[in-house]
Amino acid sequence: SSLRIAVIAGDGIGPEVIEQAIRAAEAAVQRYSPARLEWNRLPWSTAYYKKHGHMLPPDGWDLLREHDAILFGAVGDPSVPDRITVHELLLPMRRRFDQYVNLRPAYLFAGVPCPLVGKKPGEIDLLVFRENTEGEYAPVGGRLYPETPAEVAVQTALFTRRGCERIMRAAFEAARRRPRKKVTSITKSNALIWGMGLWDAVFEDVRRDYPDVQSHSLLVDAAAMDLVRKPETFDVIVASNLFGDILTDLSAAVTGSIGLASSANINPTREYPSMFEPVHGSAPDIAGRGIANPLAAILSAGLMLDHLGLSAAAEAIRQAVAAVLAEGKVRTPDLGGSHTTTDMGNAVVAALQG
Amino acid sequence: SSLRIAVIAGDGIGPEVIEQAIRAAEAAVQRYSPARLEWNRLPWSTAYYKKHGHMLPPDGWDLLREHDAILFGAVGDPSVPDRITVHELLLPMRRRFDQYVNLRPAYLFAGVPCPLVGKKPGEIDLLVFRENTEGEYAPVGGRLYPETPAEVAVQTALFTRRGCERIMRAAFEAARRRPRKKVTSITKSNALIWGMGLWDAVFEDVRRDYPDVQSHSLLVDAAAMDLVRKPETFDVIVASNLFGDILTDLSAAVTGSIGLASSANINPTREYPSMFEPVHGSAPDIAGRGIANPLAAILSAGLMLDHLGLSAAAEAIRQAVAAVLAEGKVRTPDLGGSHTTTDMGNAVVAALQG
Ligand SMILES: CC(C)[C@H](C(=O)O)[C@@H](O)C(=O)O
Ligand SMILES: CC(C)[C@H](C(=O)O)[C@@H](O)C(=O)O
């Protein structure tokens, strides 16, 4: 029997990098975790929207549910508001499929120029557990007296004890399996007393169940500072939707390139399919030029294989990416080179084939 | 006639650094902008709260209004919730006195070790205009079903067109007076469509009035990344209350030390006194040891003198701090040295006295 993967390559550089991710996943599975992968390519994107008036067909969500996982490129295009592209596809997917764990690793690979002074390969090695279904991204708010001087907007963050607790437990469980066993919870309860007040209260309760894990709370402003001053002190970070968004782009920057930042949007109960996507987005500025770094997408495909139980293939992808970076012969522009997306994909496939 | 300055040294390292700021201000004024400064020291702090049950006396706000400016150290102590210390003094002051401009400069001084690879002194030189009275910090929210599994918290950000417009105009006016004439507006309207949607709409309106200023919008996650990758591309940043908070700590980190980050909380109409404070906070971990860097407080006093019209003295303070840092003989621990708060204060006073 085969594993069914829905592929939404989407907009901009999405299709360019996803093609390489599929090639790498195929190469890895073939050699390390024999399994049949079935790639079901769905055309949902801004172009699709312009033709059909919706980002996905009415039965789109049902169709996705028939898959074992979703490999996602990016959505977003300057010609259509994010209110459509992002809010009709990406954000509702995270919520509908209850993908409440947004896992985003950041690792300083050998061969990757680090923008920080004196950091050694492997010295930055952290996992961010970003809450992915509620908090600041709750679709709650509105605008009153539009386009008049009296205009007011409200944007309401909604936190539930259950929502905070489940992402925190996921973070603690992961920390338990790592050598340093440390969890940092990101807060801002000194200003946002209600939402972050609940977040902190739940953290105090949850941490009591993990006496073997070192844990503490850190203000988001201090965390941003520490990611620059001493990123090596972080192991597992657990953060709300918005804080996780900001801190994962920052952790991508300090580990050398957003072109390496992978992510998994996981529904741990497996009631719904999980979704795997590079963090970089559609990058309209470089789209169509074949110069995007496909490693974030390839690493995301690796996270997907791991989720699907193909852990040898997943580990092989990570090793192949590490080897290609360490060798440093093939480098896309974001890494200071001038190789293409396909060159990079070829290098990883070659490394996987041995 | 003399200028009356209310001094709230507050908690932790607040009193230590404020003492040096007063010395530096006196030295600067004496030599460069003859004026009489009257320092009215107010004991409001966590210790005061523990004794009296409130952070400031009932007539405290009226008393403050009789001053030309407020020099503020820091409030916050592990023994009392921020909900009291911060929410009864610092945050209401910003709102009551309509200090809607929170101006926070970041500059890479010569002699200061930069955590980023290859940045030269003066290469990072930016001003953040942080909105200081509304947005995410609006005191609006609550918690329901406390301490039960059903618990829910809401935290509502409130944005007004007037509130967005006035901070943006302040940013554009400042950019006009700088050589690069560039404004970056920080947004996240792809996720927070209502609050940040209004922010963006106002920005589109305001920028039309400043055709001589280059302006654009940047997502907060991308901005965090760019502050690490290419901080030299920023000139003036305008941001909401929360985004300004996060990005100013980040810009302090990339310019070497939070011990150098100054700020002005300005009421531009001058109906109420403006307030000047170092960004670092009370830092309970190093309080009482006399090792805090007083330069952030000293630079904040410089911003205050400028606001009071004593611009020669203000400029002298900035030059003296730059000279002491460039010389590099006196360095507090945050700058890699082992000098004391007083040593650093002495060095600045000596530089001011010539
Ligand atoms: C103490 C805290 C509420 C405050 C803020 O978030 O505004 C501080 O971090 C600052 O930046 O002045
Ligand atoms: C596109 C945007 C809404 C999204 C987010 O903020 O979650 C992106 O930045 C991400 O990090 O996946």
Residues A73 and A279: beta-carbon distance below 8 Å: no
Q: Do the chains contact at A221 and B245, CB–CB below 8 Å?
A: yes
Looking at residue A232, the DSSP 8-state letter turns out to be G
Of A76, A114, A143, the CB nearest to B198: A143
Closest residue, chain B, to A220 (C-alpha):
B246
pTM here is 0.98
- Enumerate residues lining ligand 2, CB below 6 A: A 86, 90, 245, 279, 281; B 190-191, 221
Please choose, from the candidates B174, B105, B168, B96, the residue with its C-alpha nearest in 3D space to the C-alpha of residue B133. Answer: B96
| Site of tokens 């996921």 | A170
Contact A65/A271 with Cβ under 8 angstroms?
Answer: no
Substitution target from A193, A263, A282 for chain B, most B beta carbons within 10 A: A193
Residue of B nearest to A202 (CA): B147
Cβ neighbours of B254 in A, within 8 Å: 228
Position in ligand 1 atom list of the atom nearest CA A221: 9
Nearest to B82 among A151, A190, A253 (CB): A190
CB-based contact B224 A253, cutoff 8 Å: yes
Distance B259 CA to ligand 1 centre (A): 15
Across chain A, mean pLDDT equals 97
Answer whether A153 sits within 8 Å of B195, measured CB to CB: yes
> Residue B86: CB within 6 Å of ligand 1?
yes
Helix (H, G, I), strand (E, B) or coil at A46: helix
Nearest to A137 among B117, B191, B246 (CB): B191
Q: How far is B137 from chain A (nearest CA, A)?
A: 6
**Is B249 considered catalytic here?**
yes
* Cβ of residue B279 lying under 6 Å from some atom of ligand 1: yes
CA distance A199 to B152: 10
Q: Mean pLDDT in chain B?
A: 97
Q: What structural domains and CATH numbers belong to chain A?
A: 1-100+265-354 (3.40.718.10), 125-254 (3.40.718.10)
Cα–Cα distances in angstroms (integers) from residue B317 to residues A201, B256, B312, B345, in the given order: 44, 19, 9, 11
CB contact (8 A) between residue B258 and residue A225:
yes
In sequence order, what are the residues at sequence separation of 6 or more whose Cβ sits closer than 8 angstroms to the Cβ of residue A250? A224, A227, A228, B221, B224, B225, B228, B250
Q: Which residues on A lie below 8 Å from B130 (Cβ)?
A: none
Catalytic residue among B209, B221, B230, B329: B221
DSSP labels, A252-290: HHHTT-GGG-EEEEE-TT-SS-EEEEETT---TTTTTTT
What does the pLDDT profile of chain A (354 residues) look like in tens digits? 799 999 999 999 999 999 999 999 999 999 999 999 999 999 999 999 999 999 999 999 999 999 999 999 999 999 999 999 999 999 999 999 999 999 999 999 999 999 999 999 999 999 999 999 999 999 999 999 999 999 999 999 999 999 999 999 999 999 999 999 999 999 999 999 999 999 999 999 999 999 999 999 999 999 999 999 999 999 999 999 999 999 999 999 999 999 999 999 999 999 999 999 999 999 999 999 999 999 999 999 999 999 999 999 999 999 999 999 999 999 999 999 999 999 999 999 999 998
| B chain contacts of residue A232, beta-carbon cutoff 8 Å | none
Q: How far apart are CA B216 and CA B221, in angstroms?
A: 15
Q: Is B212 a catalytic residue?
A: no
Q: Do B191 and A116 touch (CB under 8 A)?
A: no
Structure tokens at A331: 């480098």
- Residue among B77, B90, B100, B247 to mutate when testing ligand 1 (max atoms within 8 A of CB): B90
Closest chain A residue by Cα to residue B156: A156
Distance (Å) from CA B245 to ligand 1 centroid: 7
pLDDT digits (tens, 9 = 90+) for B216-239: 999 999 999 999 999 999 999 999
pLDDT per residue over A297-352, tens digit each? 999 999 999 999 999 999 999 999 999 999 999 999 999 999 999 999 999 999 99
Q: Residue B1: which pLDDT band, with cuts at 50, 70 and 90? A: confident
A303: nearest Cα among A275, A264, A258: A264
How wide is the angle at C-alpha A354 spanned by C-alphas A308 and A127, nearest 5°? Answer: 45
Ligand nearest to the CA of B262: 1
Q: Which of B194, B220, B286 to mutate to test the interface with A (most CBs of A within 10 A)?
A: B194
Convert the pLDDT of each residue in B77-135 to its tens digit: 999 999 999 999 999 999 999 999 999 999 999 999 999 999 999 999 999 999 999 99
Task: Tell me the per-residue pLDDT of A251-267, one tens digit each, with 9 for 90 and over.
Answer: 999 999 999 999 999 99
Tell the residue nearest (CA) to atom 3 of ligand 2: B191
Query: In this structure, what token pair is assigned to residue A20?
Result: 């390489």
Q: What is the pLDDT, as a whole number, of residue A1? A: 76
* Active site (catalytic) residues of A: 137, 188, 221, 245, 249
Q: Do B198 and A252 touch (CB under 8 A)?
A: no
Ligand 1 atom, smallest distance to B248 CA: 11
Q: Which residues of B touch A201 (CB under 8 A)?
A: 147
Report chain A residues whose CB lies below 8 A from the CB of B249. Answer: 221-222, 224-225
Query: Phi, psi at residue A92, to the nearest 5°?
Result: -65, -30
Is B51 designated active site? no
Return the bridge partners of A283, or none: none
pLDDT at A316: 98
Across B264-291, b (16+ Cβ under 10 Å) vs e yields: bbbbbeeebbbbbbbbbbbbbebbeeeb
Atom of ligand 1 nearest to the CA of A219: 9
pLDDT of residue A207: 98
pLDDT of residue A165: 98
